[in-house]
Amino acid sequence: MARPLRVEFAGAVYHVMARGNECRDIVRDDKDRQRFLDTLAEAVERFGLRLHAFCLMGNHYHLVLGTPHANLSRALGWLQTTYTVRFNARHRRRGHLFQGRFKAELVEADAYGQWLVEYVHLNPVRPHAKTAPVPAERAVELAQYRWSSHRAYAGLARRGPAWLCMDWLAYWGRTRRAAQRRYQERMRAAFGKRVSNPWTGLQRGLVLGGEELLRRSEEILAKKGGLEEAQWTKAAATEQRRARVRKLIVREVEAVGIWARVRLGQERGVDVAREVGYARSCGVTMLVRRLEERAVRDPRLRRTLARLRREAVCEL
């Protein structure tokens, strides 16, 4: 399946979400959680982002952010790569930490900003079943949750992190105190009810907003002409082809090496099989036979085997 195109322009606002690879955890303890937030703070400063809200969960994260410099892909790519390197180094692991590309929906802030922040902040207490109400007894748990921007919006933290942009608090009131009070009221009202899903209004799988934002997005995509997608697909296909070629080369070299040891070095098949990991010596015998049969049809392979025979004789 082709990856979605990114619509990037100066001043755009996005809801970003990424999950752990195979839905596994991206944090294992509070040290990891703090490391993720520290890396997020670096990304905000490095790329000039305006981070309006965040919520870090066990196997995924949510961000609501603006990009004054139209650099969403660069910023999020840096964030995930850098955190992965740090996580892997700490836990002595290798490989991908995140599942594919991050998801990013373009958001019309004034229409959906308030709703989206509340939705993101309810993540730690929202039930897995989307139609189920938020359990009323989990209100205390949300108030104590330290790994989101909820406490900063509610005024429960002495102060929010310096890298968190609190401009959107104005959606709940004209003064800071009034806005925090109104925000708390709305969050309390969410308990015991089913939380409505903002994504029911998503257009083209990309835009959470009105017709004007959709039109602008379509214009940007039309100008790209699918270039980003084409380039990505070509690069991915090229890398896959290179990986296949590398594997073929390794297999070819190993096969020729085994053939030389058996035919030219007169080593026993059972000894070679044991060393290279074959369960039985007949596997080595079959490999040697298939290689010689292929050499009849493949001039390059035939020349390689002939050269090795000559060199073996010269060495003697």
Q: Are residues 164 and 308 in the same domain?
A: no
In a domain, 171, yes or no: yes
pLDDT for the residue numbered 255:
87
CATH code for position 122? 3.30.70.1290
Q: Are residues 64 and 187 in the same domain?
A: yes
Query: Is residue 32 helix, strand or coil?
Result: helix
Greatest Cα pair distance in the chain: 94
pLDDT tens digits along 49-70: 999 999 999 999 999 999 999 9
Q: Are residues 216 and 238 in the same domain?
A: no
CA distances from 259 to 11, 264, 312 (A): 63, 8, 13
Q: Give the separation between CA 296 and CA 173, rounded to whole angstroms.
A: 83
pLDDT tens digits along 82-121: 999 999 999 999 999 999 889 999 999 999 999 999 999 9
Q: Give the separation between CA 44 and CA 39, rounded to whole angstroms.
A: 9
For 53, phi and psi rounded to 5 degrees?
A: -165, 155
Low-confidence residues of the chain, pLDDT below 50? Answer: 1-2, 227-237, 239
In a domain, 3, yes or no: no
Helices (H), the chain: 30-47, 72-91, 109-121, 139-144, 150-154, 176-190, 211-224, 227-259, 269-276, 281-297, 299-315
In a domain, 1, yes or no: no
Number of separate domains in the chain: 2
pLDDT for the residue numbered 89:
96
In 3D, which of 142, 100, 261, 126 has the Cα closest to residue 153? 142
pLDDT for the residue numbered 81:
95
pLDDT for the residue numbered 282:
82
Q: Are residues 204 and 252 in the same domain?
A: no
Q: Are residues 173 and 239 in the same domain?
A: no
pLDDT for the residue numbered 39:
97
In 3D, which of 109, 307, 88, 76 has the Cα closest to residue 198? 109
Q: Is 224 exposed, middle or buried (0-12, 13-18, 19+ CB in 10 A)?
A: middle
* Dihedral-angle region of residue 70 (phi above 0 means left; psi in -120 to 50 means alpha; beta otherwise): left
Structural domain of 274: 232-315
In 3D, which of 72, 95, 85 has the Cα closest to residue 6? 72
Residue 15: in which H helix or E strand, if any? strand 12-19
